[in-house]
Amino acid sequence: MLKQTFSVPDMHCSICSMKLESIEDDFPAITQIDASYHKQQMTVEYDETKLTVDEIVTAAKKKGYQAIPA
């Protein structure tokens, strides 16, 4: 398992956080997502053999957010 933090500069409220945390439902390789609009970042714990950073960035983009690996 790998834990990766992403900066999400366009996350402004708790609804934004919930949308980003819903990415977990789309990828069984993700074990946990914590998104904080106060910090404008999200932390994703996932199986790096089954999912890439680029796939996470793309999933965030589909939800309407820019995720930048920190």
| CA dist., res. 58 & res. 13, Å (int) | 21
| CA dist., res. 9 & res. 11, Å (int) | 6
Q: What angle do CA 24, 6, 36 make, to 5 degrees?
A: 70
User: Band of the pLDDT at 12, cuts 50, 70, 90?
Assistant: very high
Q: What is the pLDDT of residues 39-65, one digit of tens each?
A: 999 999 999 999 999 999 999 999 999
What pTM was computed for the model?
0.92
